[in-house]
Copies of this chain bind each other. A is one copy, B any other.
Amino acid sequence: MGSYIPPLRDMQFVMHELLNVEAELQAMPAHAEIDADTINAVIEEAGKFASEVIFPLNQSGDQEGCHWNDTVVTTPKGYKEAYQQYVEAGWPSLSCDPAYGGQGLPISLNNALYEMLNSANIAWTMYPGLSHGAYEALHAHGTDELKNTYLAKLASGEWTGTMCLTEPHCGTDLGILRTKADPQDDGSYKITGTKIFISSGEHDMAENIIHLVLARLPGAPTGTKGISLFVVPKFLPNADGSVGARNPVSCGSIEHKMGIHSNSTCVINLDGALGWMVGEPNKGLQAMFVMMNAARLGVGMQGLGLTEISYQNARNYAKERIQMRALSGAKHPEKEADPILVHPDVRRMLLTQRAYAEGARAFTYWIALQIDRELSHPDESVRKEAADLVALLTPIVKAFITDNAFECTNHGVQVYGGHGFIAEWGMEQYVRDARITQIYEGTNGVQALDLLGRKILSDMGAKMKKFGEQVRSFVEEHGVDAKMQEFINPLGDIAVKVEKLTMEIGMKAMTNQDEVGAASVPYQRVVGHMVFAYFWARMAKVALEKESTDDFYKAKLATARFYFAKLLPETAGYIRQARAGNATLADMKDEWF
């Protein structure tokens, strides 16, 4: 079933040597006390929990799956106990507000925790993971009463949370949802409807489950402007914080899925369940977007976690498994055959996994730091700039990293050959688990549209320009350094190409909006590569300075060179596909399909 070793050295490289997070965080009053030792101690401890407690449950949880029996869901053997340990160690409250019992540590730390939890067991991690989104939505939009009732319980992990958006007839198109909320005299609502695909919607791990539910008020406008958000607890909380009466919100069944077997994906029936409004009437979608954006970044972290674990195991296998000789002559003549690591195509697959994992780590840890700036920086203009960068790049975190994760977990299977297809080895589970990350919280096609249509074209590229300025200033600063040219030249090149491609599509979209949808997916790949090229160039800069001190930096440089030689060039194809536009998609009449 393989192994998992938390990549602490790589995480520390990104946090301390690349991003200098201590200094960045210390500039924020809320985090003035943070230091590198604290950061390292926390991630080391988190790594132990991930690798020792939940990683050993990953394969058995997949094989056993969840059990449903008349509204009751039982999680696989060991899940409940592991969650208990997680709660007792205080992990749920790591970056929660001290006003509600949280530890007040930066998002940057919570993010590092989640990388490791996701490598170890993404299906288990979704139980606490979704709570965090519910916590954030209530924290941002709840009344004081709601906050006082729920936040401390969610922060401690005693209770968990869900997001209830999807209905049988609508997923992407929330504007047509039908669940109803009838106002009661006491200010509460009775919620009636059916929600599907509710991750962690019912389970036996915590004493209460807090659902955040989208529904319509009587007479609400049609479409997305008539949706409100409600908090609907499984058990109604008593004034003393204990759980009271059962609310009629129950699990009608659980889905049988391709992957994430040990996370319960529930049909949730609301039969006049009591709920309380979060935020303004008919503005539920905005409130829910707090949660959705957090969830999208979380899905990107699932992609990173799965890429890393698949790499580690494929790498170990490639060193042990002997098969054939190197084409250029035996490398280990004393053995019956050479380890498959000698074969260039095996190295290509492993380096692809590695370059995408390390690129994603640099990028997502930087994003986490931007969120810390957005939440905690004293300077409003810094907060605003950080928020814009996070908004712009959220679809890249979600779509680019998860598409890469699916490719990479498949490389992991391919390195194992036939054994990769066999459940026992554990590699095919990573593929099945990764597949959902391209779908949920907005399919990657929807992410690509969000990037190009909403984040870039709608403000005439203003947010994109801010990120572009960072890239340009890095290019200008280091373009004169002869050693950096192998990285700076292709980075500058792709940045210019993105600018040109964006303008071209923008022009075409003025006459036909379908041009946006026709170009968006390949466009997203190209922008994703520009982002990764930027972070790989920055990592190369750090590594060049320290190259002589440690092989760690030599490996980092070798991986950077591989990225620029072998992965970035796929943009040549994507640019052409984006440029080919809508014509051949539209010319095929509907009835010809």
Contacts and interface: CB of A to CB of B under 8 A. Distances in A.
B256 A445 contact: no
Given A558-B588, A558-B592, A348 B423 contact: no
Given A418-B439, A421-B439, A517 B345 contact: yes
A392 interface: no
A516 B258 contact: no
A423 B585 contact: no
Nearest to A558: B588
25 contacts: A170-B323, A172-B417, A173-B323, A173-B337, A196-B418, A257-B421, A257-B428, A258-B421, A258-B422, A258-B423, A327-B516, A327-B517, A328-B513, A329-B513, A345-B448, A348-B521, A354-B593, A432-B432, A551-B591, A561-B587, A562-B585, A565-B580, A566-B577, A570-B577, A572-B575
Nearest to A170: B323
A585 B354 CA distance: 12
A571 B573 contact: yes
Q: How many copies of the polypeptide does the oligomer hold?
A: 2
A558 to B, nearest CB: 4
A480 interface: no
A554 B589 CA distance: 9
A583 interface: yes
Interface size class of A (residues with CB under 8 A): 35 or more
Contact of A258 (B318, B414, B428, B561): B428
A385 interface: no
Contacts of A514: 326-328, 344
B439 A319 contact: no
Interface in A464-504: none
Interface in A159-203: 166, 170-173, 175-176, 196-197
A520 interface: yes
A593 B176 contact: no
A140 interface: no
A319 B593 CA distance: 9
